[in-house]
Structure formats: C-alpha cells, structure tokens
Chain A
C-alpha cells in the first residue's frame, strides 16, 4: 500500500473514530478542550505506533492461541509507561485526562490494529499504519473538541492558548453548557460522523461523475 493511501485511509475512508467507531469512550469523554483532545490523540498515537511495531516484530514468536493475551500485556505496558511519563512531566494533562489514560488499554482501536494489521505485516508498514491511524484519531478528536469547546464554553484552544484560559469567542453567559457535558459529546460526535459520511459520499459521486464524463 502506498503512503498516500495510508494517510487517506487513516484520515477519512477508514478513520478509526468516524468510520470504524473504535475508541469511542475517550472520544466522548475527554473532548471538552483542545488541550485534552491533542493530548489524548498524541498519547494514543505514540502507544499505537509502539505497540504496532513491537507486535509486528514479535508476530512469528507469539503462538496464535495466546496472541490476544500477549497483545493486551504489551499494550498495557506501553500505556503504563506513557501514564507514568505524563504524571511526571506533564502533570496538567495527566490530571485532566484522569482515568482515561489507563483506559487506553481497552481502547479497541489499538487492539484492533494489532490484530488486523500489525500481526500480519512488517515492522515498517505497521509503524506507518500506527502513525496514520493515530493521526486520523487525533484529527477526529480535535474536531469534536473544537466544536464542543466553542459551543459549550465559548472559547478556542482551552488549556493551551492564552495562559490556558483559551481565546474567548462567545461572551460569557451565552455558551450552551450542555455541550461540554455528556449530552454534548454524543450530539457533537453524531454530527461529526454525519459530516464525514456526507463528505465521503460527495467524493464518491464526484469520482463517478468524472468517470461518466470520460
């Protein structure tokens, strides 16, 4: 598979969040500020690349009967390493993501990629797959974050820009607080997935039109 195809799959046609619907717990729970979304996306990407590489390297060594258990141990190991490093050096992020960092272990996306891709492909391809899928995950998270933060708190870039306060776009008192609460998570993700389905169909139509013209 070519690099371009990998990127396209990760971002749109096989995006882990909007198409495969994997790793939904964290997508819904922590997407309340840009800081959270970027942090979670990067953490997952790093863990995904590491676990993909290691599992791909060990794919001939692990007997298939115990492969799931072995994958889980490897993934849990990387998750704990990232968790400890965040607690030590990026305390703010670790506090704001809370229990959802250890819960990356059961993010079906990582186990899913291990089983569907890394266990069958070479180390380099697996690393690339991890990078693209992780990137697609991060982009989807950030989009949901931006929507929820803008509508729910009225700011952009909360936790990063403007001393962590975020840049205020909607004056205080107007934003719909429900958007940063659980309700907003479901609604925002629903609309984002609908948007990506609409976009994909449009692209497909355009391709068909082109072919018809020819």
Chain B
C-alpha cells in the first residue's frame, strides 16, 4: 500500500463511514415511508376496536376537550352512549394504555387494555383474553365513584401476584371516572 498523509487517511476513514451511514439512512427512509402509514393505521385500528368493546354500538362523535388533574387521561372520545376515556396509568413495567367506557351517569360500561408491558403470566393477565383477564376487567362494569383494590380497603379483586398492576388499572379507571364527572358538570 502506498503511503498517504495522516489527514488524507483520516478523511478516507470518515468518508467511508459517512457513505455507509448515508446509504443506511436512505434505505431506512425508504422503508419508513412505506411502513409509517400502515403503523399509524394499526394503532388507530386498535384504539377503534377498543372503543367498540368499551362502548358497544355507540356512535362516536369524536374527541372531546377535557380537564384532568391526575395527568393520566390522554384522550376522551364522546358518543351518544357516554365517553371512551383513554388513560395511561403507570403499572409495574411501564405505562398501561387502556380505554374506559363511562356512561353519562358516571357508570363504567367497559374496560379494555390497548397496550401494556407488564410481567408475562402475572400483570399481563389484566390485558389477556383469558377467563382470568376477562373476569378482572368485568368486575369494574356498573361501578362508579372512587374505586380501590381489596388490599387498600376497596372492592376490586386484584389479579393474584399482581397487586401493583391491579392498583394501576384501578387508578386509571378512577381518573377516567373523575374526568367524566367534571365533563358532565360543565356540560
């Protein structure tokens, strides 16, 4: 190999790396432009499906402006049957994004978990389609006011071994309930 100056040598290294990075970035931009709309659509479809489960047969009128002191409420969707409130309480392994259907009278119509990162086999049960998950979520239906898990002196049965997750879900539902109560007061 012939001798080259240090500057030239460093430049050659830097340019090669820059070239590779550039090509990779361009390839990613290309792939992203194909997948981005699909990913967005997936997320929206998931939220729509969740709204359908918490507010069956309701006509969704769109997003509603809301006030919330807890910081847990993300979005509120209005409908003729009530509200679908998107809340994201902090569970054991991160945010649990879920939708809570609340009637105009402040009663819970349904609970659906959109995404969560809880421990598999324990906290993750709250989101599962299994019998245990279903019965955990169903016990909220028809309730109103401020709820608490049994350990805190309330009426909600926690998922075995997942008190923190159960508590987080309950917190999220409380936030949804108080948010709807405020909405009804104003409206």
Contact = CB atoms under 8 A, between A and B. Distances in A.
A74 B119 contact: no
Contacts of B12: 63
Contacts of B28: 77, 80-81, 84
Nearest to A182: B119
B16 A87 contact: no
A70 B20 contact: yes
Interface string A64-93: 011001100110110011001101110100
A41 interface: no
Given A63-B13, A91-B46, A152-B121, 16 more contacts: A32-B120, A63-B12, A66-B13, A70-B20, A73-B17, A80-B31, A81-B27, A81-B28, A84-B32, A85-B35, A88-B35, A88-B39, A164-B129, A177-B121, A177-B161, A181-B121
A200 interface: no
A69 B35 contact: no
A76 B39 contact: no
A85 B28 CA distance: 11
A165 B134 CA distance: 14
Which of A61, A80, A152 has most chain B Cβ within 10 Å?
Answer: A80
Interface in B94-130: 115, 117, 119-122, 129-130
Nearest to A152: B121
A88 B17 contact: no
Given A73-B20, A81-B28, A88-B39, A180 B120 contact: yes
Chain B interface: which size bin?
20 to 34
Interface residues of A, number: 31
B122 A181 contact: yes
A165 B130 contact: yes
Contacts of A76: 24
Given A77-B24, A180-B121, A63 B16 contact: yes
B48 interface: no
Given A63-B16, A73-B21, A95-B115, A88 B121 contact: no
Contacts of B35: 84-85, 87-88
B88 to A, nearest CB: 15
A153 interface: yes
A111 to B, nearest CB: 15
B122 A62 contact: no
A84 B12 CA distance: 32
Chain A contact surface mostly: helix
A66 B11 CA distance: 12
A98 B119 CA distance: 12
B17 A69 contact: yes
B38 interface: yes
Contacts of A87: 35, 39, 42
Given A73-B17, A98-B117, A88 B122 contact: no
A42 B69 CA distance: 45
A70 B17 contact: yes
A104 to B, nearest CB: 15
B127 to A, nearest CB: 10
Interface in B54-95: none
A74 B115 contact: no
B39 A32 contact: no
A188 B69 CA distance: 46
Interface in B3-36: 12-13, 16-17, 20-21, 24, 27-28, 31-32, 34-36
A66 B16 contact: yes
